[in-house]
Chain A
């Protein structure tokens, strides 16, 4: 198992390296200018380029960038937040996005699982029907539409929650964006949990467990949920990344300084900010790769068929 994990980590690092290289080259050969060029004279731009070493061969620049990365340095913004180190700005944005995303993940998964389990255990009843309608709505209605809806009722009509994000009242002002953000995950998880559980509940091994005398929550937890969770993990993984990296529109509407908003600003600002685009690209990829790696490992934990298959000489005999 540990050999398998080491191999997976090695592959993940290699993938990440290739992605960084490709991002680096692409950003540099892209048309456009890393500076707010309209406000600068040609001479100023030329000076700036020379100062940042943008006229050096691309591989030399890449090497320099890697050395910086190795020291945890993402460089400075070229047009955005001029002068402030990216690490500081990014750190604040990540904090906001991750906190809200984290709440959304927890809420989406917990409520989704609960809804799915309830629906499956009450298959064919009104409750099941309600959960189905809810999950279809949740998948169809975009999160930001739901956010505006919540803002209208809970901020404007009832004035229960703030209109906009406020770092000084973090949890309180995260309720609305986190709820809207979690809606899609909640519905997807509910739908999958329900369907997987219904399938597992009709399987021979659950009937065998019942014929042993298993019933109630022990049966659900030990035999049904464990088996139903395996496919759910696969669905959940990319959703987690989506939530962590922040929903663009939701962050914009609710005025959250998160990485989704930062990404748009970096590309659509006065100039394409090389270093921010790179830093965010690396962050997104690293998250994806990391979570996929975690899923692979989690799979091994959940499903012994995958775990044992990596052993040698421990397979079936006779």
Chain B
């Protein structure tokens, strides 16, 4: 199988639909995404844009009513002897996936730490479980390793905490435990599905710091799913903006934050609260995302797009290249499109942010 040389995980033309009572929902409509070793990639988008579904497909956690219509999720699997081969995660059976991939190579951190730990099992056992599953070690070694992990994620009195049940810990601590569980069998890739959304703001920053710190120590590649652009700015190398089951703009973090090309990305950035903005009101993108029960005609974003062209109603735009790393799916980038700039208020604001950022460099 052909795979981008530097990539460790690559989504190729992923297409997924869900059977529901109301009909078939075409949730993922051709997603391409690369994750390179040691990098952090963020997937940003509104609720229902398909962020979670995309990564859940990679770890075999899709709901029973999902159908994968086409596409591949390629993973560069490194055997213990150092040899490498490329596997399509979608071609593996659930059993193979659980035995060779889940936990051991790709681990996940979920959104809500209050519900993602088993209430009837001590946290020590929950961490050791993953170790014992994938590593050929005895219980004492697993215990020592679990203790080490708890200390690594910043839990004090780790020895005592091993015997605690989830309900005895606060939300922030539980999320640390979930991270420790994810790290238990030394994965290559960590998928964080809105890891801080359910936590209060002061804890959020600490958890993000922790993930970043662990990433550099363990050489992890990380996929962040979030709708919080503030989180993206803090952690990501590359950003994928998702809308209605497609990635509509991708670029490195500077390109997305300072030179966004897609009107949807403009809208997202403009909607971010900013201390300098004079306006009392928070900007928002009018309307709501399309219902994917009905296949959108033309560009799915067109009905909400103030800059929509006539062609947007007829044909879906392809990805236009802006730079080696920056692509956006908007007809505005077509050579024969009228020259449209981002709204001046946003431009001014991004300029301010850039200057602000340069001060710290």
Chain A residues at the B interface, C-beta cutoff of 8 Å: 123-124, 203-216, 222-223, 226-227, 230, 302-305, 308, 314-316, 318
Tell whether A316 pairs with B102 under 8 Å between CB atoms, given A207-B61, A213-B130.
no
Chain B residues at the A interface, C-beta cutoff of 8 Å: 59-61, 64, 94-95, 98-99, 101-104, 107-108, 110-112, 115-122, 129-130, 133-134, 165, 167-170, 173, 178, 181-182, 184-185
CA distance in complex: A123, B64 (Å): 9
With A211-B102, A214-B133 given, name 10 new contacts (CB 8 A). A205-B115, A208-B118, A211-B61, A211-B107, A212-B107, A213-B98, A222-B129, A226-B121, A227-B120, A315-B168
Name 27 A/B residue pairs within 8 A (Cβ), A-sorted. A123-B64, A204-B112, A204-B116, A208-B108, A208-B117, A212-B130, A212-B133, A212-B181, A212-B185, A213-B99, A213-B101, A213-B104, A213-B185, A215-B98, A215-B99, A216-B95, A226-B121, A227-B119, A230-B120, A302-B120, A304-B120, A308-B168, A315-B168, A316-B168, A316-B170, A318-B170, A318-B173
Q: Which of A206, A209, A305 lies in contact with B165, CB distance below 8 A?
A: A305
Residues of A with C-beta under 8 A to B133: 212-214
Residues of B with C-beta under 8 A to A304: 119-120, 122, 165, 167
Q: Which of B94, B169, B181, B182 lies in contact with A316, CB distance below 8 A?
A: B169
Residues of A with C-beta under 8 A to B64: 123-124
**CB-based contact B120/A211 at 8 Å:** no
CA distance in complex: A21, B261 (Å): 84
Q: Which of A206, A208, A210, A216 lies in contact with B60, CB distance below 8 A?
A: A210
CA distance in complex: A315, B165 (Å): 10
**CB-based contact B134/A213 at 8 Å:** yes
**CB-based contact B103/A211 at 8 Å:** yes
Cβ-Cβ contact count across A and B, 8 Å cutoff: 97
Tell whether A211 pairs with B115 under 8 Å between CB atoms, given A304-B165, A305-B165.
no
**CB-based contact A208/B178 at 8 Å:** yes
Taking the closest CB of chain B, its distance from the CB of A144, in whole angstroms, is: 39
Taking the closest CB of chain A, its distance from the CB of B109, in whole angstroms, is: 9
CA distance in complex: A318, B174 (Å): 11
CA distance in complex: A104, B154 (Å): 53
Residues of A with C-beta under 8 A to B111: 204
CA distance in complex: A318, B155 (Å): 11
Tell whether A208 pairs with B134 under 8 Å between CB atoms, given A213-B99, A227-B118, A304-B120.
no
Taking the closest CB of chain A, its distance from the CB of B137, in whole angstroms, is: 15
CA distance in complex: A210, B64 (Å): 14
Residues of B with C-beta under 8 A to A314: 168
Taking the closest CB of chain A, its distance from the CB of B130, in whole angstroms, is: 4
CA distance in complex: A124, B169 (Å): 37
**CB-based contact A209/B60 at 8 Å:** no
Residues of B with C-beta under 8 A to A206: 118
CA distance in complex: A316, B114 (Å): 14
Taking the closest CB of chain B, its distance from the CB of A135, in whole angstroms, is: 21
Tell whether A205 pairs with B119 under 8 Å between CB atoms, given A211-B103, A213-B185.
yes
**CB-based contact B181/A207 at 8 Å:** no
Residues of A with C-beta under 8 A to B59: 211
Tell whether A207 pairs with B184 under 8 Å between CB atoms, given A213-B133, A215-B94, A318-B170.
no
Taking the closest CB of chain B, its distance from the CB of A123, in whole angstroms, is: 7
Residues of A with C-beta under 8 A to B110: 204, 207-208
Taking the closest CB of chain B, its distance from the CB of A207, in whole angstroms, is: 6
CA distance in complex: A316, B117 (Å): 16
Residues of B with C-beta under 8 A to A209: 118, 129
Residues of A with C-beta under 8 A to B182: 211
Taking the closest CB of chain A, its distance from the CB of B310, in whole angstroms, is: 45
**CB-based contact B98/A208 at 8 Å:** no
Query: A211 — nearest CB in chain B belongs to which residue?
Result: B108
Q: Which of A207, A216, A223, A318 has the most CB of B within 10 A?
A: A207
**CB-based contact B120/A210 at 8 Å:** no
**CB-based contact B95/A215 at 8 Å:** yes
CA distance in complex: A106, B59 (Å): 40
CA distance in complex: A207, B102 (Å): 11
Taking the closest CB of chain B, its distance from the CB of A227, in whole angstroms, is: 6
CA distance in complex: A307, B102 (Å): 32
Q: Which of A208, A222, A226, A302 lies in contact with B181, CB distance below 8 A?
A: A208
Residues of B with C-beta under 8 A to A216: 95
Taking the closest CB of chain A, its distance from the CB of B156, in whole angstroms, is: 9
Residues of B with C-beta under 8 A to A204: 110-112, 115-116
CA distance in complex: A205, B112 (Å): 10
Taking the closest CB of chain A, its distance from the CB of B223, in whole angstroms, is: 13
**CB-based contact B116/A214 at 8 Å:** no
Taking the closest CB of chain A, its distance from the CB of B346, in whole angstroms, is: 37
Taking the closest CB of chain A, its distance from the CB of B214, in whole angstroms, is: 17
Residues of A with C-beta under 8 A to B173: 318
Q: Which of B111, B120, B129, B185 has the most CB of A within 10 A?
A: B120
Residues of A with C-beta under 8 A to B184: 212
